[in-house]
Structures are given as structure tokens and as C-alpha cells.
Amino acid sequence: MRDSTRIRAPRPLESYRASMKSTNWPIRIGLWIVNVGVLLVFIPGSFSWSAVAVMFALWYITGGIGVSLCFHRTLTHRSLVLAKPIEYATALFASLALQGGPISWVATHRIHHAHSDKDGDPHDARRGLLWTHVQWLYQPNEARPSLEEKHRYAADLLQDPFMRFLEAQSLWLQVALGIALFAAGGLPWLVWGIFVRLVAVYHITWLVNSASHRFGYRTYVTTDRSTNCWWVGLLAWGEGWHNNHHAFPFSARHGMRWFEFDQTWLVIRILAALHLASAVRLPSETMKQRRLLRA
């Protein structure tokens, strides 16, 4: 994997100006469709308890197992190695979270760590809570990675045909899931399994970028605004222990202290015990002592 901390080469002035003026209309329209689609819950006949169960199951499978375990800790930071069938299955789950394919997601997050809360960070916390939460996705944003930058920062994934497939087909995979849910459970399963679930996973994931760069406490010295936000930690499968993560991006464990509950870390331990995960990386006690934030 190429060094994700390298400084990006300056763009030509014309390209820079174009990116400043560019609004990502596909994402803006897509977010409107998903959020308006949630209103279908008020249509008579759009509720069932089985639909709620499907929503929670897909919420965890796509968000907790897909985004947190696979896209973030496995593919972006290489904090562990999953058995290939598990890696591919969890990457498929993550793609169904509709946050972009693995190449886009990983490249964007690696760029975030290379320039965290500085010029060049796609969701720089200095630009405000709403920007960091969602606006960076669709408003003019000079730090949003270009196609060339996505390929450069995720060159390792670009070599994998399955990851390229997920990158190209993530929207159609969501459509296929919607058709399957409608066929299995009618309108309730479609509304709750697609629209309600996507909105829930979206905002929980975005809270890691927004709330966990603003609210909470800091345990370790970092050069950004990352914080450990307990309620984001509980909602986001352990991702809210964000100051810990920015101090040790390579670590498979984000909740470092006994009270910092890290649900994804428990899953990693189970997978390791089953010999489905290996090369699990953790900081040493010496490393943690060196980075402690002193009063």
C-alpha cells in the first residue's frame, strides 16, 4: 500500500477553481431522495415489526460489519487481515451502506488522515459542524478527491477486480437489494430496509466526522481536533473513540480504556479466535504512554 500520508501535489489553478465551483449534484439529489423516502413510513401499510427487525439487522450488517470493520479498520488502515471470503463479503455489506464504493471511501478517509483538520481535509472540522457532518459531500469542496487522487490513495484496492466491481456497481447493488426486500416483505421491508436504514447509518457515520471532532475528551496528543465522544462510540460501533483512533490510526482497537466500549473490537477478537482474522495490530503500552495528553 502506498503511503497515505504523502502530501498531495498542487492542482493546476484552473482545476482548483473548477473544483471550488463544483456542486456534487448526484450526491445532493441522492441524499434528498433517501431523506424524502423516509416519509413513506407515514403511509398506511408501510409498517410491520418484521420490517423493523430487517432494518436493525441491515443497519448493523452494513454499518457495523461493513463500514466499521471492513471499509475502515480492514481496508483503509490495514489494522487486521481478514480471510479473503470474509473480506469480500464484508466489503459487499459496506457497499450496501451506499456511502460510495471501497476505492472512493478508502481514498477519502486516507486523505482525511493525511490532512486532518487542515487544508486538504475533505471534512475539515474548522469549517463548522454542519459542513463536517454532511455539507462537504455535495457542496463545492476543493478537498474532495479527484478520480486521479482516489486511484493514487487507494492503489492497493484498485488492483483487486472485486473491489473495482463494487466501486462501479454500488448503486445498482442497492437497487437489487431494494427489489429483493420488496419481493420478500412488500412496502414495509422496502421502506424500513432501505430508506430508514440508510438515513440511520448515514447520520451515525457522519457523527464520527462531526461530533467526534468537537464534543468529548482527549486522551492522546494529536495534531487535529479529534475527541473521544462516548455517545458516538456507542452509536457508531466503537468508532466514536476518535481521539484514540487518530493517535493510533493503525490500531484495530479504538476503545483503549476499560469503559470505552468498542463493539467492532469484540467482533475482531471473535474472528481472530476463529482464525478468520490475523495480523491484528495494536499499539504497545510504551507507545500509548508517549502520546498521553499531559495536564
pLDDT tens profile 263-272: 999 999 999 9
Read off the pLDDT of each residue in 213-224 and give the average, rounded to a whole number: 96
Q: What is the pLDDT of residue 295?
A: 58
What is the residue-averaged pLDDT of the chain?
A: 93
Whether 289 is in a domain gets the answer no
74: number of CA atoms within 13 Å, CB side? 29
Q: What is the pLDDT of residue 293?
A: 83
All three cell numbers of 131, joined, read 459542513
All three cell numbers of 277, joined, read 482474522
Whether 242 is in a domain gets the answer no
How many domains does the chain divide into?
Answer: 1
Q: Rounded to two decimals, what is the model's pTM?
A: 0.91
How far is the C-alpha of 53 from the C-alpha of 144, rounded, in Å? 36
Whether 6 is in a domain gets the answer no
All three cell numbers of 11, joined, read 492542482
What long-range pairs does 6-15 form, CB within 8 A, spacing at least 24? 6/114, 7/114, 8/111, 8/114, 8/115, 8/120, 8/149, 11/146, 15/146
Whether 271 is in a domain gets the answer no
All three cell numbers of 91, joined, read 466489503
Whether 272 is in a domain gets the answer no
Integer Rg of the chain from CA: 19
Q: What is the pLDDT of residue 20?
A: 44
Whether 292 is in a domain gets the answer no
Whether 252 is in a domain gets the answer no
Asked if the model's pLDDT at residue 5 lies above 70, the reply is: no
Whether 197 is in a domain gets the answer yes
Q: What is the pLDDT of residue 224?
A: 96
Asked if the model's pLDDT at residue 9 lies above 50, the reply is: no
Confidence of residue 190 (pLDDT cuts 50, 70, 90): very high
Domain of 193 in residue numbering reads as 22-214
Asked if the model's pLDDT at residue 21 lies above 90, the reply is: no
